[in-house]
Amino acid sequence: MTTINNQEDISLSYVMDVDLSQKNSLDFLHHHFQSYYRVTPVDLPDRFSRREFAFVFFGGRGMLRHLSFSKKQALNEFVGQRAPAHAYYSTAYYQTPDARTMQEKGWMGAELIFDLDADHLPNADVIPYHQQLSLVKKEFYKLVDDFLLNDFGFEESSLELYFSGGRGYHCHVKDPKILHLDSGERREIVDYIIGRDFSDSVVFFDHSTGVTKIGAQQYSSGKSLTMPSPDEPGWKGRISRGLIELIEDIIQSDDPIEKLKEYGVAPATAERLLADFSSDRINRIKQGKLDQSKAIRRFFLNNVLRKTAVSYASGETDEPVTCDTKRLIRLPGSLHGKTGLKVTEVTLDTLEEFDPLQDAIAFSDELIQIEMLQKNEVFFNNETFHLEEGMQEVPLYLAIFLIGRKMAQISSK
């Protein structure tokens, strides 16, 4: 049985002051989403009858939620009829998923969710969309392979990976051991992954390089700063590898001084530091011996450690999503209302070759007349589109993307 709890039908309740072009655009998106859903069933999550479902509609006010479906056919009929702009389901399992309050639902456990999005990338607003997706994918691979599989030891079979349809990727951890973790315990996992409150002493440590005798007493005559082997597990090996990669990035650069400046090093310090990067010292650093010069030691301790930690967490996981035990997440196989792209499952093996701007396209290349609101250049489906302001003819999949992102509209003329 499908339960809606007598909630207000908001599927096509357009905002009162919407103009004709906006209404035409909303109708256009709704029509094509409906055509898609009527022939393409969505992918249902496991134990779907224990999940809450929620939807946002084109032109609608707010979210229609607290819905449950006991049959796959009922859910697909609902989606085919209503054609939502966004479709979600709960990462938690409930005794009564259609109850109106969280307390009444009866929480039974929840998946552990990681959401990496381009919003977390530095200067995301000035990076083209296709490059954002490429950068996020690299960080997502690190998250899954380095942390979840290697550091935490999850089995790959317990992970489900998805392109979100928008600007990022989702990882669902379904290992039974994590289903009943509370928010605080989930936050500890996030803290580890992003290196929060990371202590230098975890990686760098001093050891004595000699002994001086004064009378009957022995004193250390020197100390050497060392770091773990790059092949050590966890953060120790990760930071060591990052430091070595950083040095190679600097010395192999066409302009090492400018490269050091990119890492926040002052020009005078950069010159002194570069002078200390002799081949012998670089080899010693690769052996884990860091304190050959005060400039090198200061560079590592004050700049590289934190920057390396951040580099492995850029595009860092959205903390509220991971810590929330009652989160809604996009429904696999559904369409993203701002792009028209499909929420698509991937695997770690296919992730490297996966191109969301080809592999997540849900619509045809039928040519459509749209009105561009401003000049733009868009890379999509392995092709660069140079679009001038005004009327343009583009493939249907691109028209839906541009209209969904409010870069274009269906003309009212």
Active site residue 115: yes
Spot the catalytic one: 17, 27, 115, 182: 115
Active site residue 355: no
Residue 89's contacts (CB-CB under 8 Å, 6 or more residues apart) are 45, 48, 51, 52, 53, 54, 328, 329, 331
Classified as helix, coil or strand, 291 is coil
Instruction: Count other C-beta atoms under 10 Å from residue 203's C-beta.
Output: 23
The DSSP code for 337 is: T
Strands, E assignment, 273-333 = 328-330
Is the distance from CB of 152 to CB of 136 less than 8 angstroms? no
Which of 194, 188, 160, 164 is CA-nearest to residue 174? Answer: 160
Is the distance from CB of 127 to CB of 121 less than 8 angstroms? yes
Instruction: Count other C-beta atoms under 10 Å from residue 254's C-beta.
Output: 6
**C-alpha distance from residue 362 to each of 81, 230, 332, 403 (Å):** 18, 43, 13, 15
Residue 358's contacts (CB-CB under 8 Å, 6 or more residues apart) are 381, 382
- 23 backbone dihedrals φ, ψ, rounded to 5°: -65, -45
The CA angle 226-295-272, to the nearest 5 degrees, is 140
Which of 297, 301, 238 is CA-nearest to residue 273? Answer: 297
Spot the catalytic one: 117, 125, 182, 197: 117
Query: Maximum distance among all alpha carbons in the chain?
Result: 99
Is the distance from CB of 179 to CB of 167 less than 8 angstroms? no
- Cα separation, 68 vs 280, in Å, equals 66
Spot the catalytic one: 197, 206, 276, 318: 318
Burial per residue of 74-102, b for 16 or more beta-carbon CB atoms within 10 angstroms, e otherwise: ebbbbbbebbbbbbbbbbbbbeebbbeee
**C-alpha distance from residue 263 to each of 2, 127, 347, 400 (Å):** 56, 20, 34, 40
Is the distance from CB of 277 to CB of 249 less than 8 angstroms? no
Which of 55, 48, 49 is CA-nearest to residue 9? Answer: 55
Enumerate the active-site residues: 115, 117, 318
